[in-house]
């Protein structure tokens, strides 16, 4: 009986550790991506968005990674001192399902130290090659 209890506790600990890894990893991926998006870095987009991405924008348009990357093809990353709008995330809610992570958060757009817009964002991420990538994304502008 004791061995069964110890085995159960070890399995539960391993699952908790795995969920914590996915939660922290997905939050870090989003935070790193938002920094890259703020400086307009195409490489940050390429790392974060999976090839099979479906993105639904706050304006109601739906597209994939290829379309998103085409809009960045000539972009050069900005120096941080030249960034006019910084993006950040708050109020994370992370749900793990086997190899999939669903992340809900509030995206904050800040211009010259003042919040200019909030968006609800929901992403479905998977871990590949040691990094989390979004396979599905929905953005909804929060009305003022």
Kindly report the pTM of this predicted structure.
0.84
C-alpha Rg value of the chain to the nearest Å: 18
Exposure letters 7-37 (e unless 16+ CB within 10 A, then b): eeeeeeeeeeeeeeebbebbbebbeebbbbb
Q: What is the largest CA-CA distance in the chain?
A: 64
**Domain parsing of the chain, residue ranges:** 2-141
The region that residue 113 occupies, defined by phi over 0 for left and psi between -120 and 50 for alpha, beta otherwise, is left
Spans of the chain, pLDDT less than 50: 4-5, 7-15, 17
State CA 54 to chain mean position distance: 14
Strands (E), 1-144: 49-56, 62-63, 85-97, 100-111, 114-128, 131-141
pLDDT in tens, 5-22: 454 444 444 445 467 888
pLDDT in tens, 103-125: 999 999 999 889 999 999 999 99
Query: What CATH number is given for 2-141 in this structure?
Result: 3.10.450.50
């Amino acid at each position: 009986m004791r061995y069964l209890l110890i085995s159960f506790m070890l399995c539960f600990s391993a699952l908790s550790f795995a969920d914590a890894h996915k939660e922290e990893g997905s939050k870090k991926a989003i935070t790193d991506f938002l920094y890259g998006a703020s400086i307009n870095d195409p490489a940050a987009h390429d790392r974060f968005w999976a090839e099979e991405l479906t993105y639904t924008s706050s304006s109601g348009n739906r597209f994939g990674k290829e379309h998103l990357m085409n809009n960045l093809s000539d972009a050069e990353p900005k120096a941080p001192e030249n960034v006019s709008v910084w993006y950040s995330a708050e109020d994370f809610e992370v749900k793990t399902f086997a190899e999939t992570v669903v992340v809900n958060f509030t995206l904050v757009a800040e211009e010259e130290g003042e919040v200019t817009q909030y968006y609800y964002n929901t992403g479905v991420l998977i871990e590949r090659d040691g990094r989390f990538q979004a396979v599905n994304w929905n953005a909804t502008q929060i009305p003022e």
